[in-house]
Amino acid sequence: MATYTAAYSRFTNRMDEVDLVRSVARDIEKREGTRANLETTRGLCRGGIVLLCSHIEGYIEDLASLGLNKLADKEIPKETVSNSFKYHLSRDLIVAISGANQPESIAEKVDLLFQRDGHIWDSTTSFTHPLQVEKFVGRFSTPTHENIRRFFRRFGYVTFGDDLAARLKANFPICSNMVEQVVDQRNKIAHGDFLAYRTPSDLQEMCKYVRMYCRYTDLAVGNWFKGIGCSIRD
């Protein structure tokens, strides 16, 4: 059995893109210190931060998607995940039903719930049909540590934060804080804050601790799925 999931392997491959941006920025930084070179370096680092944040988000979604697909492929008993897991799979329709006030509209949405997600809510004991991945992960967009922790609670994995802290040990504060910093910088950049920039060395440090955070996340989440009889590392 592999040590890491395919989702983590894809993440490490995508991180090469950030490394390339950082490398180019570092080379320009070493040239004559003109204003043009300074602005180019800062612009590249801003772009690298945006990429880094998107790769964290993409990795978490990819990891969750892998788990969802395996739950169905392996016909895992429904009782192994939390009750709220089903809610998150059907949330769009449940919210639509609760927001409707006309009987005809409500009936149409209830019919759609039974047609699309009846296999999730019926009395069968296992998941035997493909699960709607995009419905489950679609509302995850800001990969802070707290949001990641809450995201995995959807499956019933309630000890993710503690498990990750136990694995990272002394590195947990700096790794989780670095993920927060990446998101914060991404948000500032997205809102046009031109003072939000980092040096190539800063970006390298960000990548180092983000990689560590995601590597140990992969181990923790992989072990949790293995514990419910649903290995996601094979």
| Residue type present at position 137 | V
Given a cut of 80, whether residue 197 has pLDDT beyond it is no
Report how far residue 162's alpha carbon sits from residue 200's, in angstroms, rounded to the nearest whole number.
Answer: 32
How does pLDDT run across 118-176, given as a tens digit for each residue?
999 999 999 989 999 998 998 888 999 999 999 999 999 999 999 999 999 999 999 99
The predicted pLDDT at position 128 comes to: 85
Closest CA to 147 of 217, 197, 226, 200: 217
The predicted pLDDT at position 174 comes to: 98
